[in-house]
A and B are shown apart, each in its own frame.
Chain A
Amino acid sequence: METEVPAQAQAENDNNNNQPTNQRPEKTNFSLKYTLKGHKESISSVKFSPNGKFLASASADKIIKIWSVGKFQFVTDLFGHTGGISDIDWSPDSKYLCSGSDDNTVKIWDTHTKQVSITLKGHTQPIFCVSYSPQSNLIASGSLDQSVRLWEVKTGKCIKNLPAHTEPVSGVHFNRDGSLLVTGGYDGLIRLWDVNKGECLMTLNVEKAHSPVSFVKFSPNSKFILAGTLDNQIKLWSVNNKKGCQKVYNGHHNEQYCIFSSFLGGNWVVTGSEDHCVYIYDLRDRHIVQKLQSHTDTVLTVACHPSLPIIASGALNKDGTIKIWQDNITPSK
């Protein structure tokens, strides 16, 4: 993904949206390729491994499943949690997975041995979101108990307990070099943290702290923050300069669930929706590029392959499947 960073930066700096460059495709043409069945409950999170070889899916049925990218065959199950799982994240070397669950623990899994390597205990309420640091030495977890904890992967010890929000924490994400952490909560705030000091550097969304933040994520170059709010909006915030909110993406439905969004390459923003669709927005123009219909329930989670034009999406339990979408026309970068 890092190879695409300059493209995205260029896209952001270029304010003349009327003149598309040659490199940039105007449309996407994703179509449904696979439907993965196996989970017995709602799919809560899907994530591609950084090396692009695997897809991990977590569900409220307490099981993590791993699928191989390509023909998307089932590889293995990871058992161990005693509560439904809300979020997973791969380690940068694609060997480990961390998962946050309703059993108030974060588990680190060795995907080769399929065993839990460490269980991180400390939260007093279900874990909402987890994030592996790029150096793979830390894991951040946000919980319904309103705190964000930083865990040392080696020892499994909680090294910091940040009183991040005054409502449940719905999103955490490390930036590219692991020095910053962004958190979002139901209190409608987005906060930037210095990881080493454990201090809050910046609070976004202060003036209009109306609707809960459902999702936060750094852009691949870490210059922007993508944040979803429960008023049917996704916003792109600038981290460095104080211009504040750069773009607002409207069109999808999101008022009840903490739905994942993702950057697709340097040009698109992908999100799930409560109208059972997957939406693809143009990052610069903000309009809907494509709407993928096939799920039969709220699409809670989407993930984009790190190098190929592949989108994975998971839906709630009336549907309960993972669907793989592939772009046919757009040449893969």
Chain B
Amino acid sequence: MNNNRTNNSDYNEEDSIDIEVDDTDILPIKSHENSVVGSPGENMPEDQLLNSDHSRILINDELPLSLFVDLINKIINYLKSVKSDLPIGSTSNTSTTTTVQLNSQIKVKNQYVKSTQTFLSELITLYNKINNSSSVVDKNKCKRFRSVSSVLNNTSSIQSTSPKNNNVASDLIQINATKEEIEKRIKSFITMKAFETAESNSIEFRDDSSNSENQSIRTTAIPPMKMKYSVTTNQTGPLLNDNTNNNNSISVFSDRVNLIENHLGIMNNNNNSSVPKDLYQRVKAIEDKILQIEKQNPQFFKDSYNSRNSTPPITKLSNQTITHQK
């Protein structure tokens, strides 16, 4: 309301502000609706909207405004006439009056009655007119409520279009669709896929196009299944000793022997010889090396041998070798 007053300088316009406020509340929303439906690019500033609406309201309320002005004038005139008549009324109490005076008094009274009558009739018509115009206002009010409720129903669409409402949220949400819409999309996707598989079935199971005219699906032979089931049960695996793959096991074994040789420092001998040594020769070299180490450091082997009598020391060594290198 305060905003409206600052915008409106004219007094007459402000006179009918109680009616206007309702209307100004209505009409911008109406125009929002229009912009949503018809012209999405239309984003009028609020001031323009208000001004344009004011002009319309003034046209609507011209009649009651002029009537108010008339009413004021008539009241003033009436009061004037009554004032002029008042002394006559006050003198009517006097008993000594002539017939001429009486006649003149009757005349004056008739005039007074006439003027009051006309004034009253005018008041009644004015009252009726105001009532009619107020009914118009009521209609507007009804419209307003209706439009507001419809706006509430369409809040999502208005929010997405109007620049003021929740711009950030609409940017962040990538799929601007209601739950029903998304469910509809999922459903249509499923039906589409079902249709596609059905189509592929018809190609797969009745591609005999030459005879398809006089066939039914039951009388067409089913082609041999393109999808084969094959179950593999592994009796042996890479962790088990597989004697059939001798080459592989030798290569793996020689790798491990290489590591041992490398660690024990027998590597150089191997590299120098052009002909690769036999595995047994290499193992022999390792054994010799171990003996050599044992001679130099007898305590270590003694301790380990005493701690674990059963386990052979070579396997233990090989395990240690691998972990140390890495």
Contact = CB atoms under 8 A, between A and B. Distances in A.
B198 interface: yes
Interface in A8-58: 40-42, 44-45
A147 B219 contact: no
Contact of A42 (B198, B219, B225): B219
Contact of A144 (B201, B215, B221): B201
Nearest to A208: B229
A125 B195 CA distance: 9
B216 interface: yes
Interface stretch (A84-92, A106-114, A198-206, A282-290): A84-92
B197 interface: yes
Interface residues of A, number: 39
Given A145-B198, A167-B201, A257-B221, 19 more contacts: A41-B215, A41-B219, A42-B216, A45-B218, A85-B216, A86-B217, A86-B219, A124-B198, A125-B201, A126-B206, A128-B217, A143-B198, A144-B205, A145-B195, A146-B198, A163-B194, A211-B225, A212-B222, A256-B221
A60 B198 contact: no
A168 interface: yes
Interface residues of B, number: 19
B218 A258 contact: yes
Interface string A114-154: 00000000001111100000000000000111110000000
B3 interface: no
A86 B205 contact: no
Contact of A145 (B194, B216, B221, B222): B194
A317 interface: yes
In the complex, which of the residues B199, B201, B217, B229 has the most CB atoms of chain A within 10 Å of its own CB atom?
Answer: B217
B215 A60 contact: yes
Interface of A: 40-42, 44-45, 59-61, 83-87, 101-102, 124-128, 143-147, 163, 167-168, 186, 210-212, 230, 256-258, 300, 316-317
19 contacts: A41-B219, A44-B216, A45-B218, A61-B214, A84-B216, A102-B217, A128-B217, A143-B198, A144-B205, A144-B217, A145-B194, A145-B197, A145-B201, A146-B194, A146-B198, A146-B201, A212-B225, A230-B222, A300-B219
A315 to B, nearest CB: 10
Contacts of A168: 201, 205, 217
B285 to A, nearest CB: 57
B43 interface: no
A317 B219 contact: yes
Interface in B216-236: 216-219, 221-222, 225, 229
Given A146-B197, A146-B198, A83 B222 contact: no
B218 A86 contact: yes
A275 B214 CA distance: 23
Given A146-B197, A212-B225, A44 B205 contact: no
B202 interface: yes
B216 A101 contact: yes
Contacts of B214: 40-41, 60-61, 84, 317
Nearest to A214: B222
A257 B218 contact: yes
A186 B218 CA distance: 13
Given A144-B198, A145-B201, A146-B198, A42 B215 contact: yes
A112 B216 CA distance: 26
Contacts of B221: 256-257
A101 B225 CA distance: 24
A163 B194 CA distance: 9
A84 B215 contact: yes
Contacts of A186: 205, 222
Best-surrounded residue of B195, B214, B218 (most CB of chain A within 10 A)? B218
The 4 closest A-B pairs by CB, nearest first: A84-B216, A145-B198, A42-B219, A86-B218
Contacts of B222: 186, 212, 230, 256-258
A96 to B, nearest CB: 21
A83 B195 contact: no
Contacts of A256: 221-222
A328 to B, nearest CB: 31
B198 A44 contact: no
A211 B206 CA distance: 18
